[in-house]
Structure 1
């Protein structure tokens, strides 16, 4: 009896547990676990040095997990969910903590939080119409990188030391550019959502 060709044999998707036990996904889990620790350090004992270390780890691991996923051929559906979830949670947690500590003003925080709320509505609309969440754009990923690098510099601006004086213009520049890119990427996600849903709604109306 002849064997079926290998091309016709479909590879089953690994289980979520097996997907979790990969180096990139473990880095994302560690990044997620660091969020409550970061908040406690920043708002509780105000150990800014340790909070800064966690922020730096978050930024480096955000870059590293994507690289490792490609180098080790460990890209997975779970990783595609964990990575942006960790990014957004870090950004929101940091913005709220910085707002409480008066490190950034409210008019910087509110537009970025509203962007996340609008993106959440877009994802719900896409799911209701049987679409997958919008793909992460290059601009969105770039905006996340810039903000993740801006936050440590903003934390270093506290106080009147020489380090704070050096970090202040760098932190403000990264923050400004990151906010522009973050809002721009949010607008692109809205456009993607409208373009995906509009033809289906037009077809339903015509029917």
Structure 2
């Protein structure tokens, strides 16, 4: 989000509609990948990746950054990544350990939510590393599927896909570490403020 840009409480915005469409594409992709409709699954993945970039651009250019969008966009990203990983693992396109490594980071972040809520904070803003990692993974998935093709196309796709995958996993976990450190800093600051308030004691009235 650009400096000084206002965050609205609007619900019906163009970026939010795009994020909603991306959410609706999740079960569509799941059905396509499980039933072996690889071409259409590739199309859905490509549309999802493009829409993930588009909604952020439009939110800034149309001045339609909203609280719902800030929550909906990363939720759609994570759900799409999870379902795509499970679908690819079901087809033996990716190993199970890759699913575990990526899902573990999201479980870690989910574990931070109650702590943040206890101290009066909402979800942390998406970091650049987190967004870059998500982009890399969303680009890797269609290439991993394309790598199943025989011949040089599959070979080139496989090399490129795993390059994006490793970059995505690294950035994904880098962002996770940043979120942990941000949460720690917020909690420490909040506790320090509480202690200062306790040390100050109740205000006393001056004698007339």
Question: Do both share a fold (TM > 0.5)?
Answer: yes
Match for residue 172 of structure 2? 182
Answering whether residue 13 of structure 2 is matched by residue 22 of structure 1, we say yes
1:91-110 equivalences in 2 (<5 Å): 91-110=81-100
Given the superposition, is the C-alpha separation of residues 129 and 42 from structure 1 closer, same or farther in structure 2, using an over 3 Å criterion? same
SS at match of 1:33: helix
Q: Secondary structure at the match of 1:132?
A: coil
C-alpha contact 1:123 1:134 (8 A) present in aligned 2:
no
Q: Compute the TM-score of the two structures, normalised by the length of structure 2.
A: 0.86
Q: CA deviation at 1:153?
A: 0.4
CA contact (8 A) 2:14 2:58 kept: yes
Which of residues 133, 136, 140 in structure 2 aligns to 1:143? Answer: 133
Select which of 97, 105, 118 maps to 2:108.
Answer: 118
Aligned equivalent of 1:128, options 103, 118, 124:
118
1:148-187 alignment, distance < 5 Å: 148-187=138-177
Instruction: Return the match for 1:36 from 27, 36, 42.
Output: 27
Tell me if 1:48 matches 2:27.
no
Instruction: Give the Cα–Cα distance (whole angstroms) in 1 for the partners of residues 92 and 191 of structure 2.
Output: 45
Secondary structure of the residue aligned to 2:164 is helix
The question of whether the paired residues in 1 share the 8 Å contact of 2:70 and 2:125 is answered with no
Kept after mapping to 1: 8 A contact 2:23/2:76: yes
SS of 1:73's partner is coil
Mapped to 2, the partners of 1:21 and 1:203 lie a distance apart of 38
| Mapped partners of 1:169, 1:155: distance in 2 | 12
CA-CA distance at 1:201 after TM superposition: 3.7
Structure 2: which 5+ runs fail to align?
1-7, 199-208
Moved over 4 A (4+): 202-207
1:70 correspondence with 2:60: yes
- How much is the aligned-residue C-alpha RMSD, in angstroms? 1.8
**Whole-Å separation in 2 of the counterparts to 1:21 and 1:193:** 30
Give me the TM-score of the superposition, normalised by structure 1.
0.86
| 1:83-113 deviation per Cα after TM superposition (whole angstroms, max 9, x unaligned) | 1111111111111111111111122211111
* Structure 1 portions without partners, runs of 5+: 1-12
Return 49-58 or 96-105, whichever deviates more: 96-105
Secondary structure at 1:136 match in 2: coil
Note if contact 2:19-2:76 (Cα within 8 Å) is conserved in structure 1.
yes
Specify the SS of the correspondent of 1:103: coil
